[in-house]
Amino acid sequence: MIGPLDGVRVVEMTSWMAAPGAGAALADMGADVIKVEPLTGDIARGINRKARVHPDSPDIDGSFTVDNRGKRSVAIAIDRPDGAELVRRLISQADVLLCNLLPSRQQRYGLDPESLFEVKPNLVHATLTGYGLNGPDASRPGYDVMAFFGRGAITERLTMPGQHALQPGSAQGDHTTSLAMVAAILAALRVVERTGEGQVVDVNLMHTATWTMAADLSSVLIDGHQPSKRVRDQRLAVIATAFRCSDDRFLILNMLEPRWWPLFCETLGHPEWVDDERFATLRARFDNMTEITRKIDEVFASKTSEEWSKILDDAGLIWGPAVTLAELANDEQAAAAGVFAEIDAVEGTFRTINVPMHISGADIRPRGPAPSLAQHTLAVLREAGYGDDEIRALDDAGAITLASGDSF
């Protein structure tokens, strides 16, 4: 099988997780992704918990690997004129520039679209930011907790009255936005193929968040009315929430259609609820939501999640477990669906997460571990046409860093 992006070269100037995650997906699809890092490296190196394949093996930065696997690392000081010129030369030989530099920094180093189209007229210039390339906040730094969850109204919608603001998990908004960036780059490459003209791709965390919130936001855009928050005893359907079992595990039910109610009552051993005037209709159940919810809670609290899982499955009801990360890592269905992949590295063979897309006849998989800082500086500069004397001069001037052990 072929990689969908075999032959495509990407110069990536990114940090943290959102834009690097997009670069990892492009590398998984076969693109040659050259990660240009500052001399001190991407700040995301080593910030998250590390793990070991074996107790006596070296640490593995699993999080950094997810977002940077299969890339080649070049360390360049872009704040030096010779460093910035070196980056422009690499870009002139690439198909895509993927970056998360704010527009002001792009202009400072001659990496803005107008400047780069002069050296590469058919370049896909892709920038991932917190808030977009235009408007009063275009230069505002944005992490996903602020730009995606906060500015995208997700935190407010998920935080119930009286609770502290929701604390999201690491990089959830980042990785959601990564996929939007991948889609935009692929579409832009198609436009370039048809027109021969360079394209500017603008993807941001806030906009991606609004897409995830579209079901609610779309109505607000029409009438301006802020929807109320539906706390647990004010939801649209009684059996569209999570219930706690006797082992303190939650099962999530989502049966919005009234047709499920009789079967649900029978399954729980309370067929009398079907004809009880307090619960017989959708409206009646809504008006008596607190009471019927309490009754259902008591029933679920009488058995373990494992016992209820079998009961609900046997009845053909719609439900799902609230699993832990450790359980997800060993989920048989996740494995069968191609969620996981293996990477061979000097630290040993370990599992990671596949990019969530599968194409028949296409080879989409991690191409290797994340590179060490500056691991490929020498090789990439030689490919770009630099002679060893020029490379040595750049190194002596502090414009680049070579990998330990590199020799001419």
Q: Give me the pLDDT at residue 275, please.
A: 94
CATH number of the CATH domain containing 238: 3.30.1540.10
Co-location of 263 and 342 in the same domain = no
Confirm whether 354 is domain-assigned: yes
Contact (Cβ atoms closer than 8 angstroms) between residue 359 and residue 59: no
Tell me the pLDDT of the chain averaged across its residues: 92
Co-location of 29 and 120 in the same domain = yes
Q: Give me the pLDDT at residue 233, please.
A: 78
C-alpha span between 46 and 321 (Å, rounded): 32
Confirm whether 330 is domain-assigned: no
C-alpha span between 255 and 201 (Å, rounded): 40
Q: What is the 3-state composition of the chain as percent helix, strand, coil, each rounded to the nearest 5?
A: 40, 15, 45
CATH number of the CATH domain containing 93: 3.40.50.10540
Confirm whether 88 is domain-assigned: yes
C-alpha span between 259 and 397 (Å, rounded): 74
Co-location of 303 and 342 in the same domain = no
Confirm whether 157 is domain-assigned: yes
Q: Give me the pLDDT at residue 54, please.
A: 62
Co-location of 259 and 209 in the same domain = no
Q: What is the pLDDT of residues 241-299, one digit of tens each?
A: 999 999 999 999 999 999 999 999 999 999 999 999 999 999 999 999 999 999 999 99
Co-location of 164 and 249 in the same domain = no
Contacts of 13 (CB under 8 A, 6+ apart): 36, 78, 87, 97, 98, 99, 100, 101, 111
Co-location of 318 and 345 in the same domain = no
Q: How confident is the model at residue 186 (pLDDT cuts 50, 70, 90)?
A: very high
Co-location of 161 and 195 in the same domain = yes
Co-location of 196 and 306 in the same domain = no
Confirm whether 331 is domain-assigned: no
Mean pLDDT of 126-134: 94
What is the dihedral angle through the alpha carbons of 258, 262, 263, 265, rounded to the nearest 10 degrees? Answer: 110
Confirm whether 33 is domain-assigned: yes
DSSP, res 348:
E
Q: What is the pLDDT of residues 55-96, one digit of tens each?
A: 666 677 778 889 999 999 999 999 988 999 999 999 999 999
Q: How confident is the model at residue 169 (pLDDT cuts 50, 70, 90)?
A: confident
Q: What is the pLDDT of residues 204-241, one digit of tens each?
A: 999 999 999 998 888 888 898 888 877 787 788 899 99
Select from 324, 346, 377 the last residue of a domain.
Answer: 324
Total-model pTM: 0.90
Confirm whether 197 is domain-assigned: yes
Domain count, the chain: 2
Q: Give me the pLDDT at residue 406, please.
A: 78
Confirm whether 1 is domain-assigned: no
Co-location of 70 and 160 in the same domain = yes
Structural Rg of the chain based on CA atoms: 26
Contacts of 316 (CB under 8 A, 6+ apart): 263
Co-location of 249 and 395 in the same domain = no
* Host domain of residue 316: 232-324
Co-location of 273 and 191 in the same domain = no
C-alpha span between 280 and 17 (Å, rounded): 50
Select from 256, 290, 324 the last residue of a domain.
Answer: 324
Co-location of 320 and 345 in the same domain = no
